[in-house]
Amino acid sequence: MTPDTQGTVSETADECVVVVGGTGEIGSRIVNLLRARGRRVLTWDRSAPDVASASHITCDITDPDQIMNALKATEERTGRIDTLINSAGIGQFERFLDVSADEFRHIIDVNLNGPVNCIRAVLPGMLDAGAGSILNITSIWSTHVGPLRSAYIASKWGLLGVTKSLMEEFRDTGIRISAVSLGPVVTRLSERMIPAAERDLWMTPEEAAEVVVNVLAVSGDQFVGSEIQAYGRARPSGLGAAVLSRAVAES
């Protein structure tokens, strides 16, 4: 990233982009699209990629020490981190009373505390450089409510709140901090919940990834951050209580 252009993501091969959750269904598509555009990408994830890669660092984002080790390893390979994409996350389709305290805490740890750990690790280097971009993948459920998602919604509301707070705190530093709140996306977890009539209305992981990468490519020193909401033709209300309850009962 060019230090003298506030927040601008210039697509050059010497930049380092870290995709957290880069082996996941959406994260891996982001990685593929960025690499196809000539970007240098490293992935941080608890899961290893299907094919062994020197560009992958295995770490648990809920453990701050592991994140600092990942940061050190990344900087040894690339010198710096220009862009951080937080795409790691876990979903939930369970009744509140069926979610144990440990399970609820784990969802918050992965979806909220994990991204915060990663941001805390990379920010000092970005501040030193006077430039950088942090993009958190939140959810349309960051501003909506619905049944059977209590922990997930709590985590995503929290992550969007952190994103907007940090955008204001660091708006004059040259660091762009944004969120992409995705509407319904077809994933292995959500696929069994989708009403047959709506299956073709949901975004694919590839389409979701394209939104993220295009937001990163926006230039201009006046764009210091935002929340971008991205829908397919389906709306969150289309996955209602009756459908969810039936799917949970059948699982």
User: Per the domain annotation, does 102 fall within a domain?
Assistant: yes
pLDDT of residue 178: 95
Q: Determine the Cα–Cα distance for residues 78 and 122; give it in Å rounded to an integer.
A: 13
Q: Are 184 and 139 in contact (CB under 8 A)?
A: no
Q: Which residue has the tokens 């030193």?
A: 128
Here the CATH number for the domain that contains residue 166 is 3.40.50.720
The model's pTM: 0.87
| Residue 212 CB-half CA count within 13 A | 35
User: Per the domain annotation, does 27 fall within a domain?
Assistant: yes
User: Per the domain annotation, does 1 fall within a domain?
Assistant: no
pLDDT of residue 249: 54
What residue numbers bound the domain in which 63 lies?
16-250
User: Per the domain annotation, does 8 fall within a domain?
Assistant: no
pLDDT of residue 236: 60
SS (H, E, C) 210-242: HHHHHHHCCCCCCCCCCEEEECCCCCHHHCCHH
**Catalytic sites, residue numbers:** 152
pLDDT of residue 203: 87
pLDDT of residue 197: 76
- Partners of 176 in beta bridges: 133
pLDDT of residue 78: 94
User: Per the domain annotation, does 11 fall within a domain?
Assistant: no
User: Per the domain annotation, does 2 fall within a domain?
Assistant: no
Stretches where the chain sits below pLDDT 70 are 1-13, 220, 235-251
Structural domains in the chain (count)? 1
